[in-house]
Amino acid sequence: MSPTAARITAVDTYDVRFPTSRELDGSDAMNPDPDYSAAYVVLRGDTADCPEGHGFTFTIGRGNDVQVAAIEALRGHVVGRSVEELCADPGSLARDLIGDSQLRWLGPEKGVMHMAIGAVVNAVWDLAAKRAGKPLWQLLADAEPEWLVRQVDFRYLTDALTPDEALELLRRGRQGAAERATALRENGFPAYTTSPGWLGYSDEKLTRLAAEAVTDGFTQIKLKVGADLTDDVRRCRVARSVVGPGIRIAIDANQRWNVDEAIDWTRALAEFDPYWIEEPTSPDDVLGHAAVRKAVAPVKVATGEHVHNRIVFKQLLQAGAIDILQIDAARVAGVNENLAILLLAAKFGVPVCPHAGGVGLCELVQHLSMFDFVALSGTTDDRVIEYVDHLHDHFLDPVVIRQGHYTAPTAPGFSATMRPESIAEFTYPGGTFWAADLARQESDTQKGEAA
Amino acid sequence: MSPTAARITAVDTYDVRFPTSRELDGSDAMNPDPDYSAAYVVLRGDTADCPEGHGFTFTIGRGNDVQVAAIEALRGHVVGRSVEELCADPGSLARDLIGDSQLRWLGPEKGVMHMAIGAVVNAVWDLAAKRAGKPLWQLLADAEPEWLVRQVDFRYLTDALTPDEALELLRRGRQGAAERATALRENGFPAYTTSPGWLGYSDEKLTRLAAEAVTDGFTQIKLKVGADLTDDVRRCRVARSVVGPGIRIAIDANQRWNVDEAIDWTRALAEFDPYWIEEPTSPDDVLGHAAVRKAVAPVKVATGEHVHNRIVFKQLLQAGAIDILQIDAARVAGVNENLAILLLAAKFGVPVCPHAGGVGLCELVQHLSMFDFVALSGTTDDRVIEYVDHLHDHFLDPVVIRQGHYTAPTAPGFSATMRPESIAEFTYPGGTFWAADLARQESDTQKGEAA
C-alpha cells in the first residue's frame, strides 16, 4: 500500500493530569489550585510510514474527563479519512466538525465542544507538518497565500475582514519572509515570563525569581493580581524595585473584577507603571473591556486566553477594546481559527502576544507567533510570547528558551507530542502516579477511621 | 428522621433521545435533522417524604452523552447537601457550581459545562417548588424581593444593573401582583406557534398548519428562513396570504447569515411585513446584531436561545442590539441566571419572548414568563412564549394551550418531570426504542452484506 493511501484508523484519547496544585504553581486570583491537565488525542493511520498526529485541550483538572468525552464524540468524523486529503486541506475537516448540526447545539463554537474540535484539528496539523518534514511555523510560512485563505472560515467575519483583504495581507506578508525566517532561526522570538508572579508565592520567592528573570534576559515579567489590593501594591512595589524601570511588568487579574472594580484597581496600581492589565473582567465582555481601556490608558488592556472564538475577537477589535491580542493555541478550533484571528489582528494593527504555560501551550503557540512574524505581521515589535517553566520535560520536542527568546523549532510537527512514559505515569486515574496516589489516600482514610 | 434532615443521596442521569429527525420536525436552516434529546438529571433525597428534583439540558442528538458526562462531573458538589438548605438558597449551589475553579476553565460560563450547571440548578428549583407545594412561577412571584435579589449573581453586571436597582424593580413589580396572578389563572399567557414554519414542510403543510394556527387563536406564527431566498419569498407569501394582515409573522434564520447577508435577506422579505427577524447572525455577535437592527428597522431584531450567559445579554441591551429578548430555560445556568436576565430586560425596557420547543422547554420556560408578568414587568404587552406541539406527552405535567395562551400550571414544581416510561423507552442506546432500532439497523446491514 502506498503512503498516499493511508487512512485514519484510530482516534485514541488520554486523560492526563499533573498534580501541580500541590506546589501552588499556577495559582492566581481565579484559579487557586490548578492541576494542569491535557485531554490528549492521537490520530493513527493504517500504514507503517504514516506519522501520528498529536493534539490536546489544556484544562486545569476536574472536567478533563468531560473534555475527553467531547473529543471522543468527534471520532466518527475522523476515522476512515484519507491522511493525504486531511493534510492537503485541514480546513475541510475543521468546517465539518464545526458544522455538525447536532454537536453545534452544544456551543455553538464555544466551550467544551469547541476546544475538542481544536484538539483534533491541531492533531491534523501536527500530522501534516510531520509528513511535510517541517516544523509547523515553517509549513505555514511556506504555504501559498491562496491556500492559507482557503483554510480560514470567514463565516461571521466578513463585516470586518473579507477573503480578498486576507489574501492581500498574506501577499504583503511574504515580502521579506525569507530574511525574517533567517533572523528567526538566529535570534528566536521574544518571550516574557510569568514564573515569578504567581499569587501563591512569597515575596522572597517573587524577589528571587524576578531577579533571575532579568539575569536570564527577559525584558518583561508578569504578576498575578486581583485577590487583595494591599498585597498587590506590595508585590508590585517589590517587583518594580527588583527589576528597575527598564523592564516591563504586566499584571493579570484573571477575570476577577467587575468593570468599575477593574478601573479602580488598575488605577491604584498605576504608580508601578504596569505595561498591560490582562483579563480585567469577563472574557465575554467586549463593551466592558472597551470601557476599561478608555479609563486606564496609558496602561494597555490585554485579553484572549479565554476568548472562545474568532467572532468575539472580531468585536474586541471593532470596539477598540484591546491594545494586545492574546491568542491561545488550544482554546479555539485549532490552527485554522487562529489563522483567522491572526489575520484580524493584522488588519486592525493590534500586536499578538500569545497566552501560554499550562501543559504544552508554549510548545504549540510558538509556531503561530513565528508564522505571524515571518509571513504575516512581519515584525516582533511589542510582540512577546508568554513563557512559564512548567512541565516542558514531558514533551519530545520541548521549547528552548535562550536569552529571553523562544528558539525556532526545527523538528517536523507542532511540538505537541507528549512522551509516552509521561502519559503512562499521569493518566488519570489508572496511570502509575495516580494509582499509587489514590491507593495512599485510601489507606490514609482507613487509618483515620481505625484511629 | 424529620423531613428537614433530608440530604441529597443521588444525582442520577439519563441520556434520553427522541428520533424526531425522521419526520423533519424541527428542521431549520442550521439544524436540518435534529433528534430532540435531553441530558436528564434526577436529584434524590434520603427520606421517603422528600420529592425528587428533575432537570435537564436540551440537545438535538449527538453529544447528548457529552452533556450527561458534564452533569456527572458536578455530582460531588451536590451529593450530601441538606435538602432544606438547598431549597432555601438555590443561589448558593449555583455560585459553587459556577465558581468551581477547575471546571470554570472549561467555559467560563458557556457551552457544555454551563448548560450542565443549568440542569442541576433547575432540578433544585423543581425540588424547592415541589416542597413548597407551588408551581415554580408562583413560588417566585410570592418570594420576597430581598430574597430574589440574593438569588442573582451580579458579577460582571454592575455596570448595567446593581443589586439596589434590582431590588427597586422587584418592589415595583409587586404592586398589583395579586390581581395579575388572578388574571393569569383566568386567561393564561400569550403564545405564538412555530409549528407551521419548519423548513422541511411542504407549502401545502405550511398552508394547512398556518390556517389551523389562526383558528386555534394564535396571533403570531413563525417561519424558518435562510436556506434559499426564492423559497423564503414563496413561503412568506403563502403564509401571509393564509393568515391575512392582522396576524404577526416572525421569521427565524437560526444564525445562518453574515451581517451583510442578514441585512440584505431581511430587506428582501420586508414586503411580507415580518414582525421580527430572529437570530440573523452569530449569537456571539453583539455588534453585528446592533448593525442589523439599525439597518432593518422597523423589522425588529430578536435573539437569545443560544446566548450563553447574562454577560452577553447585558451587552445586547447596552448596545441597543435587540428589540426582543429571548430567554431559554435550559441554556444558561438555571433559574438564577434567568432571573438576572429578566431583571436586565426590565431595566432596559425590552420585552422578553422566550424560546421554547424541543423537549420540555415549553414546560420550563412558561414559569419564568409568568413570574415576569405577575411580579416584575407587570405586563403581557408584546410578550409571547414560543409554542411547538412536540413531545409534550412525555411529561407528567405537560403545557396546556387554550386559545393561543399557555394555561398557568397549578401542579407543584417546575413541570420538568418526564414520564418514567418515556425515559425507559428512549434512553440511548439501551432503552426499548433504541435497542430495537439499533438491532434492526444491524440486521439490515447484515442483509445488505449477504445480498
Question: Each residue of A307-343: pLDDT tens digit?
Answer: 999 999 999 999 999 999 999 999 999 999 999 999 9
Q: Which chain A residues touch B18 with a CB distance below 8 Å?
A: none
CB A6 within 8 A of CB A83: yes
> Which residue from A minimizes the CA distance to B291?
A159
Q: Per the residue annotation, which of B54, B114, B222, B224 is the catalytic one?
A: B224
Identify the residue whose cell numbers are 436576565: B341
Question: In this predicted structure, what is the pLDDT of residue A377?
Answer: 98
Cα torsion A439, A441, A443, A449: sign? negative
How far CA A123 is from CA of A76, A352, A362, A364, in Å, comes to 15, 23, 16, 11
Nearest-CA residue of chain B relative to A316? B287
- Rounded Cα–Cα distance for residues A163 and A154 (Å): 7
| Domain A173-420 class in CATH | alpha beta
What is the nearest CA distance from B183 to chain A, expressed in angstroms? 37
Q: What's the confidence (pLDDT) of residue B27?
A: 72
Cα–Cα distance for residue pair B146/A108, rounded to 1 Å: 35
- Which residue from B112, B285, B308 is facing A113, i.e. has the nearest CB? B112
Note whether B42 and B215 are within 8 A (CB). no
CB pairs under 8 A between A and B: 193
Partner residue facing A319 (CB), from B113, B115, B287: B287
Contacts of B258 in chain A (CB under 8 A): 154-159
CA-CA distance, A197 to A250, in Å (whole number)? 10
Closest CA to A428 of A52, A19, A126: A19
Query: Which triple of cell numbers denotes residue B29?
Result: 436552516
The CA distance from A186 to A173, in Å, is: 20
CA distance A206 to chain B (A): 24
Taking an 8 Å cut-off on Cβ atoms, the answer to whether A73 and B67 are in contact is no
pLDDT of residue A29: 73
Query: How far apart (Å, rounded) are the C-alpha atoms in residues B3 and B83?
Result: 9
Residues in chain A with CB shorter than 8 Å from the CB of B108 are: 255, 282-283, 306
**Min Cα–Cα distance to chain B from A57, Å:** 10
Query: Between A106, A306, A318, which is nearest B112 by CB?
Result: A106
B259: chain A residues, CB-CB within 8 Å: 156, 158-159
The kind and range of the H/E element at B419 are none
Give the distance from residue B194's alpha carbon to the nearest chain A alpha carbon, in angstroms: 19
Mean pLDDT across A106-111? 97
B392 is catalytic: no
Q: Which of A420, A1, A404, A431 is nearest to A213 (CA)?
A: A404
CB atoms B158 and A258 under 8 Å: yes
CATH of domain B7-133: 3.30.390.10
pLDDT digits (tens, 9 = 90+) for A365-381: 999 999 999 999 999 99
Q: Which residues in chain A touch residue B34, judged by CB atoms under 8 angstroms apart? A: 101-102, 105
| Residue B68 vs residues A414, B71, B73, B269: alpha-carbon distances, Å | 32, 5, 9, 40
Question: In this predicted structure, what is the pLDDT of residue B25?
Answer: 65
End-to-end CA distance of chain B: 65
Closest residue in A to B21 (Cα) is A102
Interface test with B, best of A37, A58, A66 (most B CBs within 10 A): A66
* Residues on chain A touching B114 (C-beta within 8 angstroms): 111
Catalytic residue annotation of A:
224, 355
**Distance between B107 CA and the closest CA of chain A, angstroms:** 5
Which pLDDT tens digit goes with each residue over A196-222? 998 888 999 999 999 999 999 999 999
pLDDT confidence of residue B26: 67
Residue A451: pLDDT band with limits 50, 70, 90: low
Closest of A358, A436, A365 to residue A39, by C-alpha = A358
Is B59's CB within 8 Å of A114's CB?
no
What was the pLDDT predicted at B1? 42
- Position A100 scores a pLDDT of 96
Least CB–CB distance from A63: residue in B32, B73, B287:
B73
Where does residue B368 rank: exposed (0-12), middle (13-18), buried (19+ CB within 10 A)? buried
Q: B156, A285: Cβ pair inside 8 Å? A: yes
CB-CB: which of B66, B104, B306 is closest to A112? B66
Contacts of A73 in chain B (CB under 8 A): 62-63, 65-66
Name the pLDDT band for A27 (thresholds 50, 70, 90): confident
Exposure b/e, B112-149, CB count within 10 A at least 16 = b: bbbbbbbbbbbbbbbbbbbbbebbbbbbbbebebeebb
Higher pLDDT, B4 or A158: A158
> Do the Cβ atoms of B102 and A308 come within 8 Å?
no
Mutate to test the interface with A, among B105, B154, B310 (most CBs of A within 10 A): B105
Share of chain A above pLDDT 90, in %: 91
- To the nearest whole number, what is the mean pLDDT of chain A? 96
Partner-chain residue, chosen from B102, B283, B306, that has the shortest CB–CB distance to A60: B102
Q: Which burial class, exposed, middle or buried, applies to B269 when counting CB atoms under 10 A from its CB (0-12, 13-18, 19+)?
A: buried
Which of A229, A234, A288, A271 lies closest to A253, judged by CA? A229
CB contact under 8 Å between A106 and B67, yes or no, is yes
Mutate: best of B101, B341, B428, partner A, most A CBs <10 A? B101
Distance of alpha carbon B344 from alpha carbon B318, whole angstroms? 10
pLDDT at A118 over 90: yes
Q: Cell numbers at residue A307, please?
A: 476568548
Please determine whether the domains at B7-133 and B173-420 fall in the same fold group of CATH.
no
- Residue pair A111/A308 in contact by the 8 Å Cβ criterion: yes
Positions in chain B short of pLDDT 70: 1-4, 24-26, 451
| Residue B135 DSSP one-character state | B
Cell of B202: 411542504
Measure Cα distances from B357 to A398, B18, B360 in Å: 50, 13, 7
Nearest to A102 among B60, B111, B258 (CB): B60
* Inter-chain residue contact A73 with B59, CB threshold 8 Å: no
Distance CA(A418)–CA(A58), nearest Å, equals 13
Q: Check B112 against A108: CB less than 8 A apart.
A: no
Which of B63, B281, B318 is closest, CB to CB, to A113?
B63
Count how many Cα atoms sit within 13 Å of the Cα of residue A428 in the half-sphere of its side chain: 19
SS (H, E, C) chain A: CCHHHCEEEEEEEEEEECCHHHHCCCCCCCCCCCCCEEEEEEEEECCCCCCCEEEEEEECCCCHHHHHHHHHCCHHHHCCCEHHHHHHCHHHHHHHHHHCHHHHCCCCCCHHHHHHHHHHHHHHHHHHHHHHCCEHHHHHHHCCHHHHHHCCCCCCCCCCCCHHHHHHHHHHHHCCHHHHHHHHHHHCEEEEEEEEECCCCCHHHHHHHHHHHHHCCCCEEEEECCCCHHHHHHHHHHHHHHHCCCCEEEEECCCCCCHHHHHHHHHHCHHHCEEEEECCCCCCCHHHHHHHHHHHCCCEEEECCCCCCHHHHHHHHHCCCCCEECCCCCCCCCHHHHHHHHHHHHHHCCCECCCCCCCCHHHHHHHHHHHHHHHCCCCCCCCCEEECCCCHHHECCCCCEECCEECCCCCCECCCCECHHHHHHHECCCCHHHHHHHHHHHHHHHHHHHC
* Residue in B with minimal Cα distance to A263: B159
* pLDDT at residue A176 greater than cutoff 70: yes
Q: Using pLDDT thresholds of 50, 70 and 90, give the confidence band for residue A2.
A: very low
Contact between B64 and B32 (Cβ < 8 Å): no
Which of B59, B107, B288 comes nearest A105 by C-beta? B59
Q: What pLDDT is attached to residue A48?
A: 86
User: A285 to chain B: nearest residue by CA?
Assistant: B311
Q: Which residue has the higher pLDDT, A21 or B14?
A: B14
Per CB-CB distance under 8 Å, the chain A contacts of B106 are 59, 63, 66-67, 111-112, 115
Taking the CB of residue A183, how many other CB atoms lie within 10 A of it? 16
Tell me the whole-structure pTM to 2 decimals: 0.97
Distance from the Cα of B84 to chain A's closest Cα (Å) equals 28
pLDDT of A1 over the 60 cut: no
Domain boundaries, chain B: 7-133, 173-420
Closest CA of chain B from A117, distance in Å: 13
Q: Taking CB atoms and an 8 Å limit, are A159 and B59 in contact across chains?
A: no
Q: Angle, nearest 10°, between helix axes A361-375 and A163-174?
A: 80
Interface mutation vs chain A, best among B13, B106, B309, B328, most A CBs within 10 Å = B106
